[in-house]
Structure 1
Amino acid sequence: MNFSEAVRDPVHGMIRLERCDLDIVDSAPVQRLRNIRQLGLTDRVYPGACHNRFEHALGTMEVTTRLVEEMKSRLGLDELLRSLGSAVSEQSYIKLLRISRMVALLHDLGHPPFSHVTERLLPRGMHEEMSLALLEHPQIRNGLKSLGEEIWQSVVQVMDPALEDLPSHLRFIRSLVCGEFGSDRMDYLLRDAHHVGVEYGAFDLPRIQHTLRPLETDQGVQLGIEHGGLLAAEGLQWARFSMFTQVYFHRTRRILDLHLVDFLVRTLEQRRYPEEPDEYLRWDDIRVLQMLREADLDPSHPAHASARRIIRRQQHRPLPEVVEGEDVEDVADRLAARVREIRDHEPLKDPVADVVSPPPALSRGGDLPILLENGEIRRLSQLSSLVGRLRVKPHGRIYCAQVAVQQ
């Protein structure tokens, strides 16, 4: 492959591009990601968190490239491709790398404005479904087909969340990019921590890069790691746990998210984003921010109060108590009862309940296959005394208006 182009990046140094990548990178769906914040309204809490999905897409592509290159260097071309059930040839390797790079570049194509914050307003499932639909955009489809019909078809298969029965090499690519220890996660942890200004997201990427490999398990070929990378794998899981508890679940960010969703529900036609891909592409953070500013200045706007809370930092404030429970339903029921009580006695406080549902993937990381020195394959959870204990209990808070929002 001829990486004749490069883009500077604050996290990875240089991101390499082939000239044939440029048409896809410059396409409207990919360029739209410049105007989609990676962490929604988190910059209201951490001012540096203004990075976007575009740089994350490029970063994920570079991490993916380095992982595949390192596997080829360490395992050799023959072992790498044979383990994936692919023909052993330089051409097969180039296809593997190009498919992996394109999946990495395009994996977040369908994110709505402010990313995960407003994902519940998508017309079809989660952002993965919209990403799949946007692969049919002429600039994306033609760009991928220019790399070869097989590459185009393979990218579509890997990115189709409903398709589970994949050939070994495509199943491996999906786990390489989107799995529990995939390049997507590696990039966003490092990138988010860098821009937020915290050390929580740091982990030993070079060591993981040096020890990841395909492993044949009872579930087929999976992305695994050699025993020498065990501590680094634990570090990645700890980094993710810390970023969730300290950044992604930050209480001020959570209430701003709720205000934003409330604003959009009251503003969007049919209370959701448009389903037609070309119309959907017109929605980004800039458009929503302009709508917020206009609603803030218009007391007659149906979402005026929510807009003002965001624009003028008049967001609801959390009550001191945190409600914890063993399951989300229990927490939600207890918070709902408390909200009713406050509304009955102090309606001007306009109580809002927020239930934090822990990401299930925090525990699924323990499924990573580990290759021991004797050739035996075990799971990370069987070898790590740390990973199995990383658990965020379901919890929630109630937020109240400090004063009635002035009209």
Structure 2
Amino acid sequence: MAPPEADLVELRDPLHGPIAVNARELAVIDAPHFQRLRRVKQLGFAEHAFPGAVHNRYLHSLGAMHLAGRLFDALARSAPWLGGPERPRLRQTVRLAALLHDIGHPPLSHAAETLLPERSELPARAVPVREGRASHEDMTLALVLASGLTRVIERTMTPLGVTPGAVAALIETDLDAGDAFTVEGMDLRPLLHGLVSGELDVDRMDYLLRDSLFAGVSYGHYDLDWLVSQARAVPDGAVVRLGIDLRALPAFEHFLLARYHMFQMVYFHPKSDIYDAMLRQWLVAVGDAARFPGDPEAFIACDDAWLRARLLASDDPWARRIAEDRPLALAAELRHPLDGPTEEALAALMAREPEAIRLTARPVLSRYAQKPGHLRADPLLVVDGAHRVRRIEEVTDLYDRYDRTLRLERIYVPREARAAARASLAGEA
């Protein structure tokens, strides 16, 4: 059970029901840096295909925090390192890391990451690597470690021993955590980081169910309660890693397939896919004119409305198509491999139609094993009834079966050119 709190409030969530939040967490939630996520949709342009998919990253982040607490409590029942005097600090740190994992996400679409500033423009104490374009993970670190939010965390969390640095270290493993997660000689960081970002993390556990709910589909459903109850803290030498009981293997496989099918049917839907592509075309055209600021405080203003205002003010043809809801039309969706005549017909069509866009949709089963033989160093472990511990890929053939992922080729053209494009691809012209 979670530790008792005298100052709990309940936030009503359509997915998880009442979410208990303590006063310390509420201070972080109420900070403008986190409130920005109210104004950033979780699925960007997906509402053009699924009208109900207008939920935001604010709600998803609350759900991730809630699940982090549930998973921590489930693990603590069989993990002595998560109990004792360190329990409140560790539990609060992992809940806060889950809450803030998306705080640096750009508005509207992942495509908008190209508008993020150079790393050299971010506070050096938050992003020590100074070369290259910042990612949304870099912006998250800047907000956690070098903004007004940092002071909120320091002011509210100090009594528990929770620091911004420890929170950031569960989001980004390249950061030095010192001995913040060492208990009784065991390093708990791999375990707790795995809850925030891993093969069975609270990010995906929340967004699959939440996105299914708001999109009005069932592809992302899986057995959440069983996976939580069967999660295990598994010693691996001097570190502790996240694992599951072997009895939960079918539920975990279902979880992986739910993500795969959500990518195939929702996240890579042809309608939202073309809006993302048109946004990328516009971003190439505007270059630095719409660049996000490197100052974390100024980034608070960069929400969906901020980006849409720039789209509406632009006379670029791609911006006009987005602003006026005039997307290119899907002329064809083809499954790889493509034969020679089809490739030739596609090349001829792309040369003939200057506005044509060719996209590849490739749903991936897992971030853990995206290439044959290339597995992550922080594996999900599986514990059987004899207490034998194995890596997940040793007990399921799902990764092998999905090594050759589905690859779809989509061709979009102006609506008035769709009939001719379809005829040419069918060999009728």
Band the TM-score falls in, shorter-chain normalisation: 0.7 to 0.9
**1:205–1:157 Cα change, 3 Å:** same
Distance across 1 between alignment mates of 2:247 and 2:280: 45
**Matching residue's letter, 2:415:** Q
Distance across 2 between alignment mates of 1:335 and 1:163: 49
Match of 1:113 in 2: 107
The unaligned stretches of length 5 or more in structure 2 are: 118-132, 182-186, 418-429
**Matching residue's letter, 2:220:** G
How far apart are residue 169 of structure 1 and its match?
1.8
1:354 aligns with 2:364: no
**1:169–1:121 Cα change, 3 Å:** same
How far apart are residue 360 of structure 1 and its match?
6.9
Distance across 1 between alignment mates of 2:341 and 2:277: 19
CA deviation map 1:220-248 (0-9, x unaligned): 42110011211211111111111011111
How far apart are residue 114 of structure 1 and its match?
1.3
**Matching residue's letter, 2:359:** D
1:94 aligns with 2:88: yes
Of 9-18 and 286-295, more deviation after overlay is shown by 286-295
Structure number having the greater helix percentage: 1
Distance across 1 between alignment mates of 2:269 and 2:52: 15
Q: What SS does structure 1 have at the residue aligned with 2:217? A: coil
**Matching residue's letter, 2:151:** N
1:403 aligns with 2:397: no
**1:158–1:336 Cα change, 3 Å:** farther
Q: Which of 292, 303, 316 is the matching residue for 1:284?
A: 303
**Matching residue's letter, 1:353:** R
Distance across 2 between alignment mates of 1:323 and 1:286: 36
Cα pair 2:227 2:252 within 8 Å, conserved:
yes
1:309 aligns with 2:321: yes
Give the alignment's TM-score, normalised by structure 2.
0.81
CA deviation map 1:193-238 (0-9, x unaligned): 0000111111111101101011123794211001121121111111
How far apart are residue 165 of structure 1 and its match?
7.8
Match of 1:298 in 2: none
Cα pair 2:104 2:143 within 8 Å, conserved:
yes
Match of 1:140 in 2: 149
Match of 1:342 in 2: 349
1:153 aligns with 2:157: no
Distance across 1 between alignment mates of 2:262 and 2:279: 22
Give the alignment's TM-score, normalised by structure 1.
0.85
How far apart are residue 270 of structure 1 and its match?
5.2
Match of 2:41 in 1: 37
Match of 2:31 in 1: 27
Cα pair 2:260 2:363 within 8 Å, conserved:
no
How far apart are residue 96 of structure 1 and its match?
0.8
The unaligned stretches of length 5 or more in structure 1 are: 296-300
**1:16–1:195 Cα change, 3 Å:** same
Cα pair 1:34 1:54 within 8 Å, conserved:
yes
**Matching residue's letter, 1:50:** V
How far apart are residue 71 of structure 1 and its match?
2.1
1:4 aligns with 2:23: no
Cα pair 1:71 1:80 within 8 Å, conserved:
no
How far apart are residue 23 of structure 1 and its match?
1.4
Aligned length: 380
**Matching residue's letter, 2:71:** L
Match of 2:261 in 1: 242
Distance across 2 between alignment mates of 1:284 and 1:65: 28
How far apart are residue 187 of structure 1 and its match?
0.3
**1:108–1:345 Cα change, 3 Å:** closer
How far apart are residue 266 of structure 1 and its match?
2.8
Q: What SS does structure 1 have at the residue aligned with 2:11? A: strand
**1:80–1:339 Cα change, 3 Å:** farther
1:379 aligns with 2:391: yes
Match of 1:51 in 2: 55
